[in-house]
Amino acid sequence: MGAMSIPGHLELPRPSRLLLTVGWNLTESLGLPVVAYLIAGRLGGGQAAGMVAATAAVWLTAAVRKLATRSVPGLLMISALLLTLQTALVVATGSMLVFLLQFPLANLALCILFARTAPTGTPLVAQLAAEVVALRQPDRHPGLHRFFQGATWLWAGIFAASTIGLAVAMAVEPEKAFLLLTTAVTIGGVAAGTIFSALWFIRVLRRCGLRVSFAQA
């Protein structure tokens, strides 16, 4: 009957460990840089100092991860590369225009990153699913692999649309309105992409005859 009817299952950690894994990854990639940025800002260093502190925090975390586990999670590496790009732009010029330009450029970088891995054997969404939520596949399922490729293209498209939208907003909106719009676009895009991806994933599981179980240990 073809690849779509191959039986199998996927495995997630127990709910408590799953929450811990997700929380730990988000803390490393997002929480620590934000804390470092806020501390530098409170010390009166300004935006540039905050960006430098955030970048230093995420690269230090990556170094600790490398020493402790001999690998760096994809989400942490993405955060490090984006912050490095943004910090370089802000520090090099000190221009408010460049500070605002970092937001569409960051989305463009994410678009390229997702698009580059989408047609490969290791699409980025599959890597993030394995690292962030510890999703394990005993055997790579063809239908599931196509989903991960498609979902990676989906996120590339989301970031491409965000890039275009923010570039247009930057040209026509005042600074404060642009920053608010950036927050709304980022949160809205990530939320919509996550919900759509989750519903798509559930549909693929049903079509492929796959089930998700929680690890016993």
Q: What is the mean pLDDT of residues 181-207?
A: 88
Q: What is the mean pLDDT of residues 137-151?
A: 84
What contacts 132, CB < 8 A, 6 or more positions away? 21, 22, 25, 26, 73, 75
The H or E element containing residue 182 is helix 175-208
CA distance 65 to 170: 37
Higher pLDDT, 2 or 45: 45
CA distance 85 to 197: 28
What confidence tens digit (pLDDT) does each residue in 76-101 have? 889 898 889 888 887 877 667 777 88
User: In which band, very low, low, confident or very high, does the pLDDT at 2 lie, cut at 50, 70 and 90?
Assistant: very low
Least confident window among 6-20, 62-76, 127-141, 189-203: 6-20
pLDDT at 3: 40
CA distance 49 to 63: 21
**Three-class secondary structure of residue 212 per DSSP:** strand
Q: Which residue type sits at 136?
A: R
**Would you kindly state where each structural domain of the chain is located, as residue ranges?**
3-214
Examine the pLDDT at 147 and tell me if it is beyond 90: yes
- Residue that has been written with the tokens 């079509």 in this structure: 207
Q: Are 89 and 101 contacting, i.e. CB atoms less than 8 angstroms apart? A: yes
Enter the pTM of the model: 0.78
CA distance 144 to 4: 9
